Amino acid sequence: MKKVKSLVLAGLLALAPAFGLGSPAVAQDNAAKAAPAMATPVDADPRSSDRGAPADSADVNVANASAADVSEAAPGATVAAPPRMKPTEGIGMPKPGEYTLQEQFTSTGHTARWLHDVMLIPLIFAISIFVLILMLYAMWKFRRSANPIPSKTAHNTMIEVIWTVLPVVILLVVAVPSIGLLADQYKPAPKDAVVVKVTGYQWYWGYEYPDNAIPEFVSNMLPEDKAKANGEPYLLAPDNRLVLPAGRPIKLIITGADVIHAFAVPSLWVKMDAVPGRLNEKSFTIDKPGVYYGQCSELCGARHGFMPIAIEALPPAEFDQWVLSQGGKPAGAAAAEKTADAAPAAADKKI
C-alpha cells in the first residue's frame, strides 16, 4: 500500500510543472487576443479596408479592439460615441476653381488669410502693373526711331533714392503683421490644452491622447467607394478621424516613426514636420465644429499621396462623450485624478 501511495505522489510531482506552465500560456493567449487590432504592418496597403474601423459605421470608432475587451473594467467605454459628423461641401476642403487660401477656422488662419488677401495680393498686383507700365514706357520712349543718338545718362540721384527707400518702406509695412503672425503660430499652448500625440508612419497616421488615457489608433485612407458612400471627398477621407473639441485650446505633439512626414490641415493653418526622433509642437483653437481635411505635405515615399488627415471638431460636450466612448477620461476627471494622486506624495514630503 505504501508503494502505491509513493507511486501516486511521484506521478503528481512529475505533472506539477505541466499544470504550472498552463496558466502563463493561457495568459499569453489572452493578451494576444486583447492586443490592438490596428497594430498595422508598415508594408501593408493603407487603402485596405481591413486596416481600420469600418468606414460605414455611424460612430467615430477608435480602431482598437482592446476597448471592447476592457469595456467591463472601464465604465466609460460603454458610453455611445456621437454620430460621425458629415462634412460640409466647400468647408475644410478645397473648392473647384479656388485661387486663394481656404476659408480659415483658427485665429492664426484668419490673420494669415487677411495678410494674404488684403495686403500681399494687392501689393503684388500693384508692383507688377507698375513695373509693366515702366517697361512699356521705356520701350516706347527710348526706341531707336525716336532716339537715333542713344542717351548717355548714367545716374539720377532722385530715382536712385526713390527705388531704394520705397522698397524698404514696403518691406517694413509687410514685416509688422508678418512677425506678429509668426509669433502667434509658435505661441505655447496653455496648461489646460487637449494634448494629442500625432505620429506619421509609412503611410498612415497614428493618434494618441495621453492626458485622456486613450491609446494610439491609426488612420488610413478610405477606398473610393466607401468615401463616396460616406459623402466624403476621395483621397482626403480616412477611416478614423482625429477627434478634437471646438473652442478649446489644442496641443499637438508631432513626430515621425520612419521618415520625415508633415502634418498639414490648410483650413486650420496647421502645418508641422513629423521628424523621427524629434517632438515638434503645434497649438491652435478651432473656431467652430466641423470636418477639416488635410494631407501629408512632405514627400515620404511611394504612397505619400495616400495618407490623408481629417479632423472632426466636436462641441466640447460631445468631445467628452467621445472620450468616454473610447474608455478614456475627460480632461476634468483626468486632472482631478492627477491631483488626488499627487496629494499623498506631497503629504509624505512634508512629513
For the chain, 351 residues long, the average pLDDT of each consecutive 10-residue run is: 51 45 34 36 37 37 36 53 91 89 95 94 95 94 85 85 93 94 92 96 96 95 93 94 96 96 96 96 96 96 95 96 92 58 53 54
270-286 in b/e burial notation, b at 16+ Cβ within 10 A? bebbbbeeeebebbbbb
Query: Strands 270-274 and 261-265, how do they pair?
Result: antiparallel
CA Rg, the chain, in Å?
30
Contact by Cβ (8 Å): 75, 255: no
pLDDT of residue 348: 55
pLDDT of residue 333: 61
With both helix axes pointing from N to C terminus, report the angle between 107-114 and 157-185 in degrees, rounded to the nearest 10: 170
pLDDT of residue 115: 95
Chain centroid to CA 113: 20
* CA nearest neighbour of 60 among 83, 78, 87, 80: 83
- CB count within 10 Å of CB 91 equals 16
pLDDT of residue 148: 83
Q: What is the DSSP letter of 276?
A: B
pLDDT of residue 90: 86
Helix then strand then coil, % of the chain, to nearest 5: 45, 20, 35
Contact by Cβ (8 Å): 236, 48: no
Query: Strands 194-201 and 249-256, how do they pair?
Result: parallel
Q: Which residues fall within 8 angstroms of residue 104, CB to CB, at 6 or more apart? A: 110, 112, 113, 267, 268, 269
Find the Cα–Cα–Cα–Cα dihedral 136, 138, 142, 145, rounded to 10°.
0
* φ/ψ bin of 184: left (φ > 0), alpha (ψ from -120 to 50), beta (otherwise): alpha
Burial class (CB in 10 A: 0-12, 13-18, 19+), 65: middle
